[in-house]
Structure 1
Amino acid sequence: MYRQLWLALILSTTLSLVGGFLASTLGARVYLEEQLRLKNNDTAAALALSLSRGGVDAIEMELSAAALFDSGYFQSIRILDPKGAVIVERVAAQVQDSAPQWFVSSLPIVAQPGVANITDGWKQLGTVVLSSQTSHAYKTLWAATKELMAALFFAGLLGGYLGTLILRRLKGPLAKVIEQARGISERRFFTTPEPKVPELRQLVAAMNSSVVRLKSMFDEEARRLEAVRQEVNYDPLTGLANRDYFMARLRAALETEEGPGGQLFLIRIAHLAEINRRLGRESTDALLQTAGKTIEEFGTGLPDALVARLNGADFALMVPGQWDALAMGDELLQKLIDGSRAFLQNEPIAFIGTGAFHPQHAMGELLTQVDSAMASAEATGVNNLREAVSHSDDGPSSAEQWGRQIEHALDNALTKIALFPVVDFSGQLIHRESALRLMLTPGSPWLPAGRFLPAAERIGMTAKLDLAVVKLGLAELEKDPQLPGVAINLSGHSIHEPAFCQKLLALLTTQPSASKRLWLEVPEYGALAYLPAFRNFCQQLAGSGCRLGIEHFGNQFSHIGKLHDLGLDYLKIDASFIRDIQDNQGNQVFLKGLTNIVHNIGMKVFAEGVISQQEVDMLATLGFDGITGPVVK
């Protein structure tokens, strides 16, 4: 559109200038021709009159014609007798015109010669035929033409400047409309201010109205689905996650090999049955709500923590990452004691058991260990915290040691990626997910990401690891041109670092063809925790050809409205919603609505951690686009 407007402006200006130039130049030529004609006539008449008064004398004629001719303004002077014979003739040599030859050839000046009769009374004695030089006329016309061209050129510049101002006034609103339309096509919905130009104002108002309606529909459906998710997965009394949802999340954390591990706390409210008999159901419920709120507030400040009510008196807290479990447990226990003083005085409030877990940790074994620790605390009869015996670990004992080992592995190329298929329901490969492996020393076992990522996050090394795995992924794509894609998991900490995106873009620029088959995904918690950085990350990578997505999605579904303007290509739904989906009608309704929303804004939906054919069959009916997990070979 801009080019067309510019072309129209240039064409109209050019036509105006050319038309004005031709009209002015041709008019000037006609004027000069007329002036030459009048001069010829006047001079011829004056010469004839002079000769008529002097009598008919050949010498006089010769002298008069010569005197006039020598002035240099005439091309030829002829005096003819009544019969047409030449009496006197003067013809000037061809004068080199000061104007260019092409100009002279293009605009010939042709002036009628002056003709006057020499008479003696009523008797005609001869005829004067006189033609002026045209070189002076061409000089005058050329000078006038140059001045006209300069004036028209200046007028053209002025017109171009004014046109630029007009286009600039249109370009800003048009650019915003184009960006808004492009945003809708890229699944980003935003409104723009209405411009002052009436036509554009109507267009922008219509676009904004469409965007508002789309967002309204999106938000309304999201609220409905969030209500379904809350009803299915949350305890109605405390508003915390229920047992089934917590166990599904815990199982997903244990089965995800690149997961960070973490700390599990089991909390039991002391002597709940006796409290219920003594205080009544209403006060007991209030106590449970207070305890649940205390634990929830404690978990709010912990990254991706999950708080649940497992049964009547038991609560659970899962905190991903590495923590000082005893210090954290002591703080939680004190908060529970302080929060319950309105209900109980000088009585035990809670018993807490805690234990660390890591990827591939057997779920039954973990629960048994932590439950035993909680039972040990309960056996003391007072508010108490006990820690389960942790597994021995032959890796580095501190974050600093991990940092040195990770640096050594990166410097010596002791890294690789394992690839796992993501397929559609016909078995067609969509892409392969990558999982980073690291070897501490040559010949030692390859460690999964869950072993070293928590330490890497604590010491700020995730950006280096993410860039390393992107290089490995690009190398894999270059090696196998038939591979449809490789998905790389990026840490939320990495995208929060300002230099990471620039380094990533520079890396993608070196391999543009492979980059178009690269899938980059960020965990849901990381994307929402660093939302401004993630939004900037998506905007900067919009033209790279990579596909962008969020993995482990669904646990913070209430925040989905914050993702509508990011231009994402796909979501991977957390395995906690997928486990035994064939038997969970509430999650079926939730996932069916989720896939409808996501498809309506142009994204794909994949299921993580699928382990059975029954789950595969159900996911196909719910509208998923693909699956990954142990069931996919």
Structure 2
Amino acid sequence: MTPATLDTKDMLNRTMLFACSFRHFAEIADIAVACGWDAVVTATASGIDPAYAESGAPVVLIDARGAIAQGLAAAQTIAPRVAEDGAALLFVLSRRDCTALDRVFELGATHFLIDPASDGELIQSLRFAARHVTRAPGRPGIVDRRDAMAGARFGRDPNLAQQWIAARIGDGQPVSVVLVSLSRLDIVNAAHGRPAVDSLIEVAVERAEAVAAEAMAGAARVARLGGADLALVVGAGAADIAALIAALDEALARPFAVANALAVLGCRFGVASHQPGDPSDPADGAATLMRRAFGALAKAKTSDGAMLQIASAAHDMSLDALAIDLHHAIELDEIDIRFQPQVEIASGRITGVEALARWDHRKLGPLGADALFAAADRADLGIALSDHIQRLVLARALAWPEALATLRVSLNLTAADIARPGFATLFLARVDDSGFPRGRLTVEITETGLIADLASASTLLTELRGAGCRVAIDDFGTGYSSLAYLKDLPLDYVKIDKALVHDIGGSPRDRVVVAGAITMARSLGLSVIAEGVETREQLELLAACGASLYQGFLLSEPVGDAALLELVTRT
């Protein structure tokens, strides 16, 4: 084997590679030699932390191809020290083990590579990882590239963020969490590749660090959470972070340089705060604060317009408490269904609806699907809840009067549904038993429900589509792989994410991005549904770009059966 030669002129001086390799020792060693690096290659997941410390290597590779259990064990052992040193941690895993990616990032990986990959791709991944090393000041042989920001980053370790939060709570000080989710990265990925996306996210993190350092005088830290999400942990209460959020929004709205072009990203914010005097154990309080912030971010992502969501402490309830209540909610029929109309732009007719679950909680009032399914996951009721909602939707739609009898019904499938063996057979039997026609049913999926196993998802959707159902992909335009889904999945509809729709009335660049996504979908013979349409201007621009259907508050929020009948009769 003759690995590709690597030009090291832009690498760290005399880069050293520490590799935990479980199957491919010779390959890793040869690649290190080809790169002109010193390398330490070890075979086991135990006792590697001292060996790594002695090596002083700024780049660590865990080669878990065909050995995912050993790889995760190695990451758990070595990642804390790697994060402390500011080294890069590249995790290589087989495609069949992609379900472990979330765990890989939780353990502290800064980069990853999915096999099968060529030697050249592995070398380039190592090269990219090495270029993004940030080391503590004073480490011998390492260039200190970020001395000014050395204290402003937690790296990829969320545990460090929670420890910092717990310390603030324990000292009786205010603390807030600002979560940021970047969107439109799939366009960059399609044009320039994943390394360009990673570089762009890194620049976004650096901008966040600069804002944190200036606005909060050092009383803030930034953590990269994996994917396109980052967190700012701020030593201030809710009343004192408005300026920070405004500055962050402005910084991330500025165009990013990618190759010879500029990219404009969208972002959503979720915020939660803890005030002195709030009763809470520091460790539990830190975990709860993070959960509340993630809940607010999820709400912002699904909102038809609000880019910022702030968790309300007055109405906060722990997931554990909600999980207990959920058992009773299913038994007492507290789970309800609302239907949001989908309108044909050319005619103004309502031709379909999306079914959305709501929980009419006895104490907290109406709760959306995010809180509902978060509680279900905590209570291990995710599958039971999904089954319950599917039966509710089918029964409700079957009982509609004649005026609604031609509407298509879109029903969301969860990641757990997609992963269930034999789900297609079970689902189709449920539809047939209900008496609802397969031909009026559309199943909706999101990227989070696909990324674990795209091949299995494709097989499932092909079976459902072949049986007469239609298939839609939701939230298009926000993830890394959306373009691949258009190519590989049996789809009928693409739903443009509401974040893109919200920005279409902004700059000409915003319109170009949306128009490009719509044109791509239509060129593949897919119908385009725009979500989150709130204004007449947005609708006109979407129509000009080629969207065929829309849903959003411009016509109606999600409604019950009686209100739906009135809307259909009136339009």
TM value normalised by structure 2: 0.47
Normalized per residue, the structure richer in helix is 1
Instruction: Answer with 1 or 2: which has the greater Rg.
Output: 1
TM value normalised by structure 1: 0.43
Normalized per residue, the structure richer in strand is 2
